[in-house]
Amino acid sequence: AVHAETHGFQTEVKQLLQLMIHSLYSNKEIFLRELVSNAADAADKLRFKALENNALYEDDGELRVRVSFDQDAKTITLSDNGIGMTRDEVIEHLGTIAKSGTKEFFGQLSGDSAKDSQLIGQFGVGFYSAFIVADKVTVETRAAGVEAEQGVRWESAGEGDYTVADITKQTRGTDITLHLREDEHEFLDSWKVRSIITKYSDHISIPVQMWKDERPESEGPDGEKIAAVPGEWESINKATALWTRGKNEISKEEYNEFYKHISHDFADPLTWAHNKVEGKQDYTSLLYIPSKAPFDLWNRERQHGLKLYVQRVFIMDDADEFMPGYLRFVKGVLDSNDLPLNVSREILQDTKTTANLRSACTKRVLTMLERMAKNDAEKYQTFWAEFGQVLKEGPAEDFANKEQIAKLLRFASTHNDNAEQNVSFADYVERMKEGQDKIYYVTADSYAAAANSPHLEIFKRKGIEVLLMHDRVDEWLISHLPEAEGKSLVSITKGDLDLGDLDDEETKKQKEQDETEYASFVSRVKETLGDKVKDVRLTYRLTDTPSCIVVDEHDMSTQMQKLMKAVGQ
C-alpha cells in the first residue's frame, strides 16, 4: 500500500462511536441491516450515474451484495459492486458526520442511555454501527469509472483514528470486513446471519447473496448416482423493490423494515399508505407517518421529502417538491413513470407532473390521517402529540385542502378541563348550544393562561364550550381559518361579543335598560381614559372581574401583537 496516512476522527464521530457501542449493544445485529442498506444505496447511486454513462458497469451490471465469512480470521465481509468511493469520499464519509442536524443531535444527548439510543436511532446509526461488534473494520473500495490502481483501503479500530492507503482493487465497489470482537463470534454462524438478513433486509432491491456449499456426488437408496451440485452464490432475499410488489404480498414486518431502510429511523412507523396508480398518471407511492418527531423537526435546513425513483431507478433523496412543508414529517418513496429519467431538481420544479404528483401525495397523506383519526383515535392522539403543531401550519400553506386539514385539527377545550388537545371542530359543533352558531376560542401563551382568561366567565356561566388555544402557531392558524364545519370562528376576546340568540327575552330587555342607565357612567370613563382606548362599552362577558380589555373585531389580537413584537415587527 502506498500513500498511507493516519487521520483523526472528527470529534463528533468519536462521540457517536462511544455512544453507539454502549447504548445500542442490545440491538447489535442491526449493523447487518445498516451495511446491507448502504450496499443497496451504492447500487442505486451507480444505476443513476450509469444512466448517462453506461460504461460505468464495466461488464458487471448484475448489482448485488455478498456476505461471506472467514472462520479462522474471525471476520465477516460484505462485498458489493455498487458505486464505490474515491479516497476523498472515503475520508469525507467514513471520517466525519456531514449530516444536517448534527449540532442539534449532540445538543440533545442526555447521558440517559435509553433516551440517547432513541435519539441515535433517529439520527441514523449507519456505517459506524459496525463497531458495535467489531474491534477492527477494514474497508476496501474502488469507485466506478476509475482505474484499478485507484482503490483505497480504510481501516480503524473505532477509537481515535483511522488509516487510509492506496491499493489496487480489480473489482468495482466496496468490501467491508469486520474483525469480530471476542464475544461476537456468533456472527460467524451463516445460518444466524441468514436469518437476521431475512428479517431486516428482505425488501432490499438488490440480491443479498451467501455462498451455498457444493454437494458432492452421492448414491441414492438403490445405488443410483446423484450428481454433484457445484457451490454457488445464492440470493437469500426477494430482491425486488418492495413498493413494486402487491399490497397483499407484503407483511407488516416488511413494511416496517423498509421504512427503517429509507428513513434511517430506528422505530417502527405509525402507519403507511401504499398506492399504485395507472392511467392518466402513472406512479406508485409508499408514504409513511413516523411514530416520533425527529429531534430537528423545527430546523429549517433539515432535509425532508420523498425518495424519488423514475421507472424503478433511484433519482434522488429528499425530493421535497412532492410534499408541502406542513407534511414535512412524511417519509416514503415515489416511483413515477411520467417523469423523464434525466430529471433534475430544476426540471422538477417546473413541470406539471410534479405539481400533479404533489397534490396526489398530499391527498394521500391527508386521507391516511383522516382514516387513522376515524379508526384509531388513540393512535391519532399519538400522531397529534408529535406532529400536530406542524399540521397546524396547513391551512395557511395549502388553501385547496383547508377544509380537509381543519377536520384533522385538535384542540384543548373548556369541555375537558385539561391541556390535552383532543377536541375536533366536529366534536365542538356537536356539543353546541341551541341557538349557538359560532365556534368560540381564546388564544394565550399557555394552557393555564387560556383556561383562566377572564373572558371565559360569561361562557362558563352560559355553559358554552370554548376552545383553548395555546400553541405558538395557533394565532397564525386561526388567521387563515375563518371558519370550520360551516361555522365561523370567533375569538372571545375580540370586539362586541354578540351572544344575542343565546339570550332569553328577559336578558335582552335587561340589557336595553342597562344601556340607558349606565350611559353617563360609560361616557365619563371614556373621557378619563382619553386616547388610551378606542371605545368603552358595557359588557356581560364578566362575572367576577369588573372590567377587561378587548380588541376590535378587525384589529390584531393581543396575542398576535405579542407574536409580532417577538419577531421584531
Is position 124 an interface residue for ligand ADP (rule: CB under 6 A)?
A: yes
Q: For residues 41 and 393, which CB has a smaller minimum distance to Mg ion in the complex?
A: 41
Cα separation, 429 vs 406, whole angstroms: 13
Q: For residues 314 and 425, which CB has a smaller minimum distance to ligand ADP in the complex?
A: 314
Place of cell 365556534: 439
Q: Which of residues 30-49 bind ligand ADP (CB under 6 A)?
A: 34, 38-39, 41-42
**Which one of the spans 37-45, 175-183, 205-213, 522-530 is the region binding Mg ion (CB under 5 A)?**
37-45
Q: Which of residues 424-463 bind ligand ADP (CB under 6 A)?
A: none
**Shortest separation between residue 42's beta carbon and ligand ADP, angstroms:** 3
DSSP one-letter code for 119: H
**Shortest separation between residue 101's beta carbon and ligand ADP, angstroms:** 12
At what angle are helices 11-23 and 113-123 packed, to 10 degrees?
Answer: 120
Q: Which of residues 145-204 bind ligand ADP (CB under 6 A)?
A: 174
Strand pairing class (306-310; 313-319): antiparallel
**Shortest separation between residue 327's beta carbon and Mg ion, angstroms:** 24
**Shortest separation between residue 330's beta carbon and Mg ion, angstroms:** 20
Q: Which of residues 83-122 bind ligand ADP (CB under 6 A)?
A: 83-85, 93-94
**Shortest separation between residue 130's beta carbon and Mg ion, angstroms:** 11
Is position 333 an interface residue for ligand ADP (rule: CB under 6 A)?
A: no
Of the candidates 13, 30, 26, the residue with the CA atom closest to the CA atom of residue 266: 30
Of ligand ADP, Mg ion, none, which one sits near residue 42, judging by CB under 5 to 8 A according to partner kind?
ligand ADP
**Which one of the spans 118-126, 389-397, 424-432, 469-477 is the region binding Mg ion (CB under 5 A)?**
118-126
In the complex, residue closest to ligand ADP by CB: 126
Site string for ligand ADP, 60-89 (x = CB under 6 A): --------------------x-xxxx----
Which residue of 126, 158, 324, 395 would you call a contact of Mg ion, by CB under 5 A? 126
DSSP one-letter code for 360: H
Would you say how long the chain is, in residues?
A: 569
Q: How far is CA 245 from CA 24, 98, 276, in A?
A: 32, 34, 10
Q: Which of residues 453-482 bind Mg ion (CB under 5 A)?
A: none
**Shortest separation between residue 38's beta carbon and Mg ion, angstroms:** 4
Q: For residues 174 and 453, which CB has a smaller minimum distance to ligand ADP in the complex?
A: 174
Is position 82 an interface residue for Mg ion (rule: CB under 5 A)?
A: no
Report helix, strand or coil for 30.
helix
Q: Answer whether 34's CB lies under 8 Å from 129's CB.
A: yes
Is position 264 an interface residue for ligand ADP (rule: CB under 6 A)?
A: yes
Which residues face 208 on adjacent strands?
65
Which residue of 95, 126, 294, 332 would you call a contact of ligand ADP, by CB under 6 A? 126
Specify the DSSP element, H or E, that contains 467: strand 467-469
Q: For residues 126 and 388, which CB has a smaller minimum distance to Mg ion in the complex?
A: 126
Q: Looking at 134-281, which runs of residues are DSSP E strands?
A: 134-142, 151-156, 161-167, 173-180, 208-212, 218-219, 225-226, 232-235, 271-277
Is position 134 an interface residue for ligand ADP (rule: CB under 6 A)?
A: no
Q: For residues 34 and 140, which CB has a smaller minimum distance to Mg ion in the complex?
A: 34
Q: For residues 35 and 439, which CB has a smaller minimum distance to ligand ADP in the complex?
A: 35
| DSSP of 427-475 | HHHHTPPTT--EEEEEE-SSHHHHHT-GGGHHHHHHT---EEE-STTHH
Place of cell 327575552: 505
Q: How far is CA 249 from CA 203, 255, 331, in A?
A: 12, 11, 21
Side-chain-facing half-sphere of 498: CA atoms under 13 Å:
4
Specify the DSSP element, H or E, that contains 121: helix 113-123
Number of residues that bind ligand ADP (CB under 6 A): 17
- Residue 429 has phi, psi (to 5 degrees) of -60, -40
Handedness of CA 557, 562, 567, 569 (dihedral sign): positive
Other CB atoms within 10 A of residue 499 CB: 19
Q: How far is CA 512 from CA 120, 506, 546, in A?
A: 66, 10, 20
**Shortest separation between residue 92's beta carbon and Mg ion, angstroms:** 14
**Shortest separation between residue 200's beta carbon and Mg ion, angstroms:** 13
**Shortest separation between residue 69's beta carbon and Mg ion, angstroms:** 22
Specify the DSSP element, H or E, that contains 418: strand 418-423
Strand pairing class (283-289; 225-226): unpaired
**Shortest separation between residue 338's beta carbon and ligand ADP, angstroms:** 28
Q: Give the CA-trace dihedral at 33, 38, 40, 45, to 10 degrees.
A: 160
Q: For residues 124 and 151, which CB has a smaller minimum distance to ligand ADP in the complex?
A: 124
Is position 468 an interface residue for ligand ADP (rule: CB under 6 A)?
A: no
Residues that bind Mg ion (CB under 5 A): 38, 126
Residues that bind ligand ADP (CB under 6 A): 34, 38-39, 41-42, 80, 82-85, 93-94, 124, 126-127, 174, 264
